[in-house]
Copies of this chain bind each other. A is one copy, B any other.
Amino acid sequence: MSEDNHTYRLIIHCPDKVGIVAAVSQFIADHNGWLLESNYHADPDDEWFFMRNEIRASSLSLSLDDFRHEFSVLADKHDMRWAIYDSKQPQKVVLLASHASHCLADLLHRWHSGELNCDIPCVISNHENLRSMVEWHNIPFIYVPVDTNNKAAAFSKMESIIEKYQADTIVLARYMQIIPSQMCAKYKDRMINIHHSFLPSFIGANPYAKAYERGVKLVGATSHYVTEDLDEGPIIEQDVVRVGHSHSQEDLVRLGKDVEKLVLARALRNHLENRVIVHGRKTLIFD
């Protein structure tokens, strides 16, 4: 990463009122911060304000620690929830997979080719079949089988692996098990799923079978944060592809895979660049 690409991302949300943009941008300017991007949104429903600033790191006249220290005074004054992220500190992303390879292969290639700025400390799967693919990337592959008798133990083991690797983000790359409520709560807004339908259509199992039965003319995929309400979490990204009467259910599955891959990759990229802010049941995407 060149120095030009080294940035800090300042994410803020707080009650809306006159003068917040001025206060924040004045603070940044006072410390010579060069803004590369600045986005904001005011939610009229609950008068809440959101802001994302991307600042060239080399332009700032104070250290990141000093920035944090000094900004907290301003933040307290305006009752802000806020964080600042360093683009040189890539997130640790643990991938969970089952038997299907398409989303996992896609994410691994994006990471391997330098498109995704993150570390992948390990891949966990309840099947062995993708071990070789993962290990070719020099990423540890950890097999944690899950069956009806050992669910609690299996998820407890997975949780300890996630903790050991200090994951910032967990991605369910077509991981087909339902996550226990306690883990959903623990990794709130940090666990990303790809559901193989255009939510809220076809919640739950076998969405392509349901789409085929219903005779829809488009099938889709949805990436969302995992919550304890199945397939009800805040949506990060969605897309669709056209289908017709000549397509079998297997065709829907095949066509849907390409949408799943793209939707998950876009969602994860935005998440890694701190472009996603969860607000109630929804997300803001500052892209």
Minimal Cβ-Cβ distance residue in B for A28: B22
What B residues does A234 contact at CB under 8 A? 215
What B residues does A181 contact at CB under 8 A? none
Q: Once the chains bind, are B35 and A29 in contact (CB under 8 Å)?
A: no
The CA of A248 and the CA of B45, in the complex, are separated in Å by: 10
Minimal Cβ-Cβ distance residue in B for A100: B113
Copies in the complex: 4
Contact with B along A194-237 (1 / 0, CB 8 A): 00001111100000000001111110100000000000001111
Contact with B along A68-111 (1 / 0, CB 8 A): 00000000000000000000000000000000011001100100
Interface residues in chain A, defined as those with a beta carbon under 8 Å from any beta carbon in chain B: 18-19, 21-23, 25-26, 28-30, 32-42, 44, 59, 101-102, 105-106, 109, 112-113, 115, 132-133, 136, 198-202, 213-218, 220, 234-240, 244-246, 248, 254, 257-258, 262, 265, 281-285
Beyond known contacts A39-B39, A200-B201: 12 more, CB 8 A cutoff? A21-B38, A22-B22, A22-B30, A35-B40, A35-B42, A41-B245, A101-B112, A105-B113, A213-B281, A214-B281, A215-B281, A218-B239
For this complex, 10 residue pairs linking A to B, each with C-beta atoms less than 8 Å apart, are: A21-B25, A21-B35, A22-B22, A25-B25, A106-B109, A136-B136, A198-B198, A199-B216, A214-B235, A217-B285
